[in-house]
Structure 1
């Protein structure tokens, strides 16, 4: 039976929560923040917050996969959720919370893993690789948010 695989990273960003949330909720900025293995980012609907639809490709262990993410805001200004509509089971949650005079941002993704030996390898490799990718994404968000408040 396939297992749920989870990967996450978090970072304190040196900018106010509202500024940071505006950055992560604006799907038109996503291409600026996503490092490889993500590419070919396209906003297909809306652009900011709930109702936006954004697609991109990702090169990963199983080859290239195209994802189409629908954005919801279960807690506007605090939580943004991107859910793949192409059946991968991928859900990415971005949580933005105040942290002293700064902002703590957490990116967590979950998806249904493979079965068998491929699943064992995936559960070991994917979280570590995605953690590194999300750490780079958070560094890019930090740099952009700080440039807006400088």
Structure 2
């Protein structure tokens, strides 16, 4: 039986929450924030917010997984969710919370992990590794937000 594996990271981003959310909702921009092990990011449908469909690959735990994510916005302007349509159970949730002229951004994810010994190892290693990866993703988002503020 598979077990749910969860991972998360959060960071304060130096831009107002509405701007940060717009960056995350724009799927072409979001591709800029994805660090390794994500690659081959493509927008299949839509492109901004709910209804968008994106595809990317992730080189993780010794194998490559191709993911096709459907985007929803349970709380537009605050929560954006990407859900894998291919059966991995991966759900990535981005939450943007205003903090004055900045925004607290969190990425939370969960997916259906392996069972047995492989699952045991995955439940130990995957959350730590994904925390680091999501930390890099949020750092790239912050860097982009800072560039935009300097450019205006």
> If the TM-score is normalised by the length of the shorter chain, which range does it land in?
over 0.9
SS at match of 2:134: helix
Whether the 8 Å contact between 2:16 and 2:100 is mirrored in structure 1 is: no
Distance between the aligned counterparts of 1:43 and 1:136, measured in 2? 21
How many residue pairs are counted as aligned between the two chains? 150
The answer for the alignment partner of 2:104 in structure 1 is: 104
Distance between the aligned counterparts of 1:29 and 1:102, measured in 2? 19
Distance between the aligned counterparts of 1:46 and 1:102, measured in 2? 28
Deviation track 1:65-90 (CA, whole Å, cap 9, x = no partner) reads 10000000000000000000011100
TM-score by length of 2: 0.96
Cα shift at 1:37:
0.3
**Would you identify which runs of 4 or more consecutive aligned residues in structure 1 move more than 3 Å?**
none
Whether the 8 Å contact between 1:5 and 1:123 is mirrored in structure 2 is: yes
Structure 2 unaligned residues grouped into runs of 5+ = none
Distance between the aligned counterparts of 1:3 and 1:64, measured in 2? 20
Cα shift at 1:99:
1.5
Cα shift at 1:62:
4.6
The answer for the alignment partner of 2:142 in structure 1 is: 142
Q: CA RMSD in A?
A: 0.8
